[in-house]
Amino acid sequence: MNLSSIAAFLNPVNLFSIRGGIHPETRKFLTADCAIEEMPLPKLLRIPLQQHIGAEAAALVKRGDRVLKGQLIGKARGPVSANIHSPTSGTVVAVGEFVAPHPSGLPVPTVTIRTDGLDEWGPRLPRLRPETASPAEIAAQVAEAGIVGMGGATFPSAIKLNLRDRYPLTTLIINAAECEPYLTCDDRLIREHAEEVADGAAIIAKALGVDEIIIAIESNKPQAAAAIAHFNQPLGLRLQVKVVPTQYPMGSEKHLVQMVTGKETPARALTAELGVVVHNAATAHAVHLAVRYGEPLISRLLTVSGRAISRPANLRVRIGTPVLDIINHCGGLTEDPERLLLGGPMMGQPIATQRVPIVKGTNGILALSASEARKEDMMPCIRCGTCVQACPCGLTPFEMNARIQSGDLDGAARVGLMDCVNCGCCSYVCPSNIPLVQGFAFARGKLAEKQSRKHQQEETKRLAAARIAREEAIAEKKRAAMAKRKSEMAAKKAEEAAAAQEAAK
């Protein structure tokens, strides 16, 4: 089925345009026709307690404990945090630090489980009937299930569901654009489980209190678009599919909202302020499982691809499975990869070791060969402006980079550094091969550190001033008490003297 017939079948409405963007080679053909496989359980699972934006979960288990599939092993801590559940049954062999699936390679608190092969379920969450459940009950169930944004952002999903209390919401957009090259796991999820994704979207819409659901899919996924278009009235709500152009970074939340609705989100504002909330397709599927069947988030789909992989595939993998086990399941490596990434080639995180586990936000493992990973010498900026044309946020990357290189971080912030979405378009098109996006990330980290130090200094001054004020108040209280006591003693002596004089008469 070609794109024109799909577009006619879906009867899409007019779309809007976004600035900038690029059209990299998609290379999705490596896995687009690979059906989802269930990966066997590994011998060890390493489950980090920090798999989300916000505070790490607090461990509820200790070494030697036997755990069951779906058991809560990490409790959300703080307003922005997420529960962590055991992906299978087995024995806890360690609760301690282990290398994080992050370029830093720094250790994070991790629960290590030796699987027993039984895959024995513990008590599941209570099932809900979304037809009769309240929005608050649905949001609470999503929170208990530990669901986070599975497109890579990993923001706790329940918090976004509760935005109904703060903003007048009208529209839910399910982000199925999957604009990163190589990745096809969302495409396969919708092609094989369209009804479940549509149901999850409707459950999210009910929790948000909206009646408009839009599934946004890039034009290079016609089968997925056709599959989910059949389920256009889940829970009695209206669902429409909008086929958006194949363009990177179409999956960026704010740019997708602008393409679909024509509404541009102001810098550092939320799309909810425009009445629109965006959730990923995989997140919708996880919500379906949590609400309908009481299943917490313990596994996810991911794409394993790249020319250095022997057998590219789309897999359903338990959270905490080591990257090495996944690569071995796919036949191993055909050569030493030039780059080994978790996620896509544009925004994915490079990793130094295959021992790291996959987490809730891992949507891909890419082993790129030397021919795929562009590696050329960096040259000075020629101020060609190509990066400006590519930037979807309308920034001037070459100017921000010049200010960063001169040490003027505040100046870089004034010309838009904090509005960068880290998409990498500027680095991709730069003819001088300048790692612009990496420099921007470094500069934002430095600014955050500077702001943190300033905040600490101000807080120290505030606490010192409060202590001085407190001590002065105590001293003043003591002085007042002593003066009162002296006054009372003087009055008493005067009374005694007066009494003595009266007695002498």
Binding site, by residue number, is: 381, 384, 387, 391, 420, 423, 426, 430
Q: Indicate the SS3 state at residue 363.
A: coil
Structure tokens that stand for 495 in this block: 């009374």
Tell me how far apart the alpha carbons of residues 214 and 222 are, in angstroms, rounded to a whole number.
Answer: 16
Residue recorded with tokens 């409060």: 466
Compute CA distances 80 → 155, 181, 193, whole Å. Answer: 8, 31, 30
Instruction: Evaluate whether 55 touches 80 at the Cβ level (below 8 Å).
Output: yes
Tell me how far apart the alpha carbons of residues 343 and 351 are, in angstroms, rounded to a whole number.
Answer: 11
Dihedral angle over CA of 344, 350, 353, 357, nearest 10: -50
Q: Indicate the SS3 state at residue 223.
A: helix
Rg over alpha carbons for the chain, rounded to the nearest Å, is: 29
Q: Which amino acid is at 347?
A: M
Nearest Cα residue to 200 out of 178, 172, 241, 179: 172
Q: Which amino acid is at 371?
A: S
Question: How buried is 245 (Cβ within 10 angstroms: 0-12 exposed, 13-18 middle, 19+ buried)?
Answer: middle
Structure tokens that stand for 296 in this block: 């917490």
Nearest Cα residue to 68 out of 60, 76, 57: 60
DSSP E strands, 321-432? 339-342, 349-350, 364-368
Residue 22, φ and ψ in degrees, nearest 5: -135, 170
Instruction: Evaluate whether 115 touches 121 at the Cβ level (below 8 Å).
Output: no
Q: Residue ranges for the binding site for [4Fe-4S] cluster?
A: 381, 384, 387, 391, 420, 423, 426, 430
Instruction: Evaluate whether 75 touches 94 at the Cβ level (below 8 Å).
Output: no
Q: Indicate the SS3 state at residue 243.
A: strand
Tell me how far apart the alpha carbons of residues 363 and 20 are, in angstroms, rounded to a whole number.
Answer: 25
Tell me how far apart the alpha carbons of residues 82 and 75 are, in angstroms, rounded to a whole number.
Answer: 7
Q: Which helix (H) or strand (E) holds 501?
A: helix 436-504
Tell me how far apart the alpha carbons of residues 105 and 324 are, in angstroms, rounded to a whole number.
Answer: 16
Compute CA distances 484 → 12, 480, 489, 491, 496, whole Å. Answer: 84, 6, 9, 10, 18
Cβ neighbours of 80 (radius 10 Å): 13
